[in-house]
Amino acid sequence: MGRAPCCDKASVKKGPWSPEEDAKLKAYIEENGTGGNWIALPQKIGLKRCGKSCRLRWLNYLRPNIKHGDFTEEEEHIICSLYISIGSRWSIIAAQLPGRTDNDIKNYWNTKLKKKLLGKRAPSRRARANQELGGTLAAATAGGSTAAAQALSSSALERIQLHMRLQGLYSAFSCAGISSNAPPQWPKLETTLLPNRPLPGMQPTDAIATAVSVQHHPQHLVGQTLAAAAAAASTSEVFEAEQLHPAAGANYIPGGPDQRAKLGFCSSSAEAGLAGTVEMSSSSLLGGFGYGLHDELYDFIYSRCDQSVGGAQGGVVPPLPELQCPDGSAIIGADEKFSAWTASCDHGPAGQLIQGNSVNLQDYVLGYDQ
């Protein structure tokens, strides 16, 4: 037997909200609040709407201080950085951008930012490229974990591409001697793959809990903000753990160090001596089983490396498998090859944004706190 519907579909109005409906809902909530019961609210005020619909309308459009459109460059930075590190956890990302809703950010990412950063191509070419990339990834693991590569979600591929693109761009700028003294602004995705990682195929519940580690400068507020966001995302387990293991700092990942992978971004090496750490466990952030994108990446990388280069040694990130550029122009493997390729591509505005190897979240946070 299926789940009971939250409302009577037949008697509920759907589609765009009228100004009258908006006014009714807004007036009631401003005066009385939601009353802690969205389901009953529409009946109270005579709206033929589902409670969920009312909630969505209020949260996304009617509540005070909502901003729409015109995302700033700083906001784009934050969205990209967080997307790389935690994926499509839009509510958490939205928590970093006051006035923005998860729906807004999601739409902005899907319609603009993704294309901007991953490169906009004609649909047919793009579709072909994705197909080729997927096929190449699968082929790269032939004889090994082909299934693991094939199982790599489109979101994972997207983030691999974004990561590679950003790193490629960074390398290109570094090689050119640009911005050597400029403040770091973009994340360098730091992947620390620890040894003794269980092999793919084990039960999800045994899978490694991946942690996103955001290290920050002591006086910066980003930690507080991230902490608030993470707390809101029910990651209190990690924070409690950190309090219990203060000495462990950034290296503490619940569940045992020998079965952990860490994938995230950190501030520049010039900011070494970091005092605070915020960790978000992928077991809560990336899915119920703690088996999410990072694990997919790990599976993919290691299913290849275990055979070809003997796996990771000493926490060194193995090179990504050889890939064919989406336009078919080159076979790429090592970062420098990809850098050369990306440098030759049309990066659009994103290219102007890449200047360093880290992200200065505190600047944005301070700005929005004003």
Partner DNA sequence: AAATGCGACAACCGCATTATC
Partner DNA sequence: CGATAATGCGGTTGTCGCATT
- Give me the residues that bind DNA (CB under 7 A), please: 3-4, 6, 9, 13-17, 34, 36-40, 49-53, 55-57, 60-61, 68-69, 88-92, 102-104, 106-108, 110-112, 115, 123, 155, 232-234, 288
Closer to DNA by CB, 18 or 269: give it. Answer: 18
Nearer to DNA, 88 or 360 (CB): 88
b/e code 249-266 from CB counts within 10 Å (16+ = b): ebbbbbeeeeebbbbbbb
Closest to DNA by CB, 104 or 220: 104
Minimum CB distance to DNA smaller for 12 or for 366: 12
Q: Give the integer Cα–Cα distance in Å for 251 and 169.
A: 28
In the complex, least distance from residue 112 CB atom to DNA, rounded to whole angstroms:
5
Alpha-carbon gap, residue 337 to 329, rounded angstroms? 12
- In sequence order, the 6+-apart residues with CB closer than 8 A to the CB of 103 are 56, 60, 90
Q: Which amino acid is at 252?
A: Y
- Shortest Cβ 9–DNA spacing (Å): 7
**CA proximity to 97, closest of 120, 117, 80:** 80
Q: Which is nearer to DNA, 55 or 337 (CB)?
A: 55
Residue 15 Cβ vs DNA, minimum distance, rounded to whole Å: 5
Measured from the CB atom, the residue of 263 and 305 that comes closer to DNA is 263
CB of 263 to DNA, least distance (A): 17
319: which DSSP letter?
A: P
**Measured CA distances, 111 to 118, 244, 245, 350 (Å):** 12, 42, 42, 15
Q: Report, in Å, the least distance between residue 130 CB and DNA.
A: 14
Distance of alpha carbon 226 from alpha carbon 214, whole angstroms? 9
Residue 322 Cβ, how far from DNA at the closest point, in Å? 28
CB of 163 to DNA, least distance (A): 17
Q: Please calculate the CA angle 283-288-293 and round it to the nearest 5 degrees.
A: 60
Is the CB of 231 or the CB of 275 nearer to DNA?
231
